[in-house]
Amino acid sequence: MSVANTSQLLLKNLSLLKATKPLFINLPADAFIDEYKREYPHAQLSFFNSHYGEYLAHQAKQHPCQFSHYYQANEIHDLIIIAFPKSKAELGYTLAMLNEVTDQNTIIYFVGEKNSGVKSVEKLAKNYLHGCQKDDAARHCLLFSGCYKAQAKPFDVDEWFVQYPLDIKGKTIQIYALPGVFSQERLDVGTKLLLEYLPDYTGKKVLDFGCGAGVIGAYIASSYPSSTLALADVSALALASAKQTFAANQLKGKFIATDSMSNITDLFDAVISNPPFHQGLKTHYQATERFLSEIAKHIKVKGSLTIVANSFLKYQPIIASKFISVEQAVKANGFTVYHAIR
């Protein structure tokens, strides 16, 4: 099994990480955890992962892991190791949610690839940590630690949603998004193009795959009140945002946590997506390629798949191999909308 570079750095520093009740936030279920359990057999380990795929990997190893948009527990952790989040906006949120599970003795570690932004953790975390310092560097990764500063106010997740109105084709939808969720502040150019070329969803059962804050699903649900919407995403923060967007617009939907196709079981009349794209992470391609290869099985005969993607991505042949027809509905600003019939 491969061991993440960040886990190798943690392994190198295992002797520093002794604790009674450690909490591991968004760490992979790899050899670092196995080694930790061997080295500290009496420690009571807790896990939190907001990525559904990582959560499943912890479950497979019987780790007590929470998959949610924020961590909740009735105990104090003396050590918390956090994988530096992909978005800096998520850093403050992750630290704020720890207010109720820390005390003045809790040590927080941050581990991340050098190019992840972890270098600026001392500055970014200054309201939450004191004595923040760099402990080690190896395998292109950095390790920082500091002591948690108790926050004056209890954590309230509702205060962390960014809210903005979206005007699409004469319709106004209120969007709610937690830190780091796609489309957190404005409509994405690709999503905008996709929404301009929607098929007729009257009475259709529709899946919005990779729903983010629920922009696409909410627009369809409010434009076609007779449609039924399912929204799927790998991120607990995205799913919580999409739920909030639906509630605020008095819309109904079903929300599915899935890693690519792992939890997609239903049959739909139509699937729509602005799928995960390349962000320097190979897994984003893999998730989308698996989605494109397997989604046809979940679409009724004569049903449709409509997606938007960067024009340079070679998705058309993958779609064409599984669908009766696929056309480029529009190409603009570097994006292409593909419309396929099963």
Residues contributing to the site for ligand SAM (CB under 6 A): 182-183, 188, 191, 210-212, 215-216, 233-235, 238, 258-260, 274, 276-277, 287
CB of 65 or CB of 218, closer to ligand SAM:
218
CB of 51 or CB of 63, closer to ligand SAM:
51
Least distance (Å) between residue 287 CB and ligand SAM:
3
CB of 249 or CB of 260, closer to ligand SAM:
260
Least distance (Å) between residue 178 CB and ligand SAM:
11
Least distance (Å) between residue 207 CB and ligand SAM:
11
Q: What angle do CA 96, 101, 103 make, to 5 degrees?
A: 95
CB of 118 or CB of 234, closer to ligand SAM:
234
8 Å CB contact between 313 and 277: yes
Least distance (Å) between residue 241 CB and ligand SAM:
9
Least distance (Å) between residue 218 CB and ligand SAM:
10
Least distance (Å) between residue 272 CB and ligand SAM:
9
Q: Which residues contact 148 (CB under 8 A, 6 or more apart)?
A: 80, 95, 98, 102, 103, 104, 106, 107, 108, 128, 129
Least distance (Å) between residue 130 CB and ligand SAM:
33
CB of 19 or CB of 193, closer to ligand SAM:
193
CB of 125 or CB of 261, closer to ligand SAM:
261
Least distance (Å) between residue 89 CB and ligand SAM:
14
CB of 106 or CB of 191, closer to ligand SAM:
191
Which neighbouring-strand residues pair with 145?
A: 109, 133
